[in-house]
């Protein structure tokens, strides 16, 4: 059972435990499993709890597309500032686009949504919807009092890997 994540805003209700469970299960089921240090550092999983117009709840999960994957498929970007992967939160938002029968209830992402693209998008298009996350490079402090620099170190701990 994954540990409870942090929330935004701080006063949000508790995260539905199905969200981190679904994210972990996605990692475990992905071929190959995304549980090695390399994959924990390289990939972010987001899980969004939503409700349809009949009141039925479900969870949609997305995985980011890395810069390496995009370069293998399309070649290098034309300029260095264009070398950006597709963030899992953006992919999930794209999946929900035009699906007005769905109401987003909670958003879980293993990493805090990035401040330049994802956080502003979530605040704009999903105001009032709480986000939950594990890794925030600015705030994770290890038992030795030092900042934890890599997502894998946090995710191994919260997922008990």
Count other C-beta atoms under 10 Å from residue 161's C-beta. Answer: 15
Please report which confidence band the pLDDT of residue 67 belongs to, taking 50, 70 and 90 as the band edges. Answer: low
Q: Would the pTM count as exceeding 0.85?
A: yes
Provide mean pLDDT across the span 118-137: 95
Average pLDDT score over the chain: 91
| Pairwise pLDDT comparison (77 vs 53), residue with the higher score | 53
Q: What is the pLDDT of residue 78?
A: 77
| pLDDT value of position 82 | 58
Average pLDDT (137-142) is 71
The pLDDT, as a whole number, for residue 146 is 79
Q: Higher pLDDT residue, 115 or 140?
A: 115
Question: Are 46 and 110 contacting, i.e. CB atoms less than 8 angstroms apart?
Answer: yes
3 state SS of 4: coil
* Mean pLDDT within 50-70: 90
Query: Under DSSP, is residue 107 helix (H, G, I), strand (E, B) or coil?
Result: strand
pLDDT average, residue stretch 62-68: 83
Q: How confident is the model over 68-127, as pLDDT tens digits?
A: 775 677 788 777 665 567 899 999 999 999 999 999 999 999 999 999 999 999 999 999
Q: What is the pLDDT of residue 79?
A: 76
Contacts 24+ apart (CB under 8 A), 109-113: 109/44, 109/45, 109/46, 109/47, 109/133, 110/23, 110/44, 110/45, 110/46, 110/134, 110/135, 110/151, 110/155, 111/44, 111/135, 111/136, 111/151, 112/6, 112/8, 112/136, 113/87, 113/89
pLDDT at residue 141, as a whole number: 72
Q: How far is CA 54 from CA 37, 58, 101, 103, in A?
A: 41, 12, 9, 11
């Amino acid at each position: 059972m994954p540990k409870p994540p942090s929330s935004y805003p701080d006063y949000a209700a508790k995260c539905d435990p199905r969200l981190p469970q679904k994210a972990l299960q996605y990692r475990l089921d992905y071929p190959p499993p995304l549980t090695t240090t390399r994959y924990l550092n390289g990939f972010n999983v987001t899980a969004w709890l939503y409700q349809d117009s009949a009141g039925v709840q479900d969870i949609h999960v997305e995985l980011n597309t890395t810069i390496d994957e995009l370069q293998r498929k399309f070649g290098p970007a034309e300029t260095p500032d264009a070398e950006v992967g597709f963030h899992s939160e953006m992919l999930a938002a794209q999946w929900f686009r035009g699906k007005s029968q769905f109401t987003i209830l909670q958003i879980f992402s293993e990493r805090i949504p990035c401040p330049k693209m994802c956080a502003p998008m979530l605040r704009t298009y999903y105001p009032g919807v709480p986000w939950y996350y594990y890794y925030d490079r600015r705030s994770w402090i290890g038992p030795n009092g030092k900042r934890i620099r890599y997502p894998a170190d946090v995710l191994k701990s919260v997922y008990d890997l």
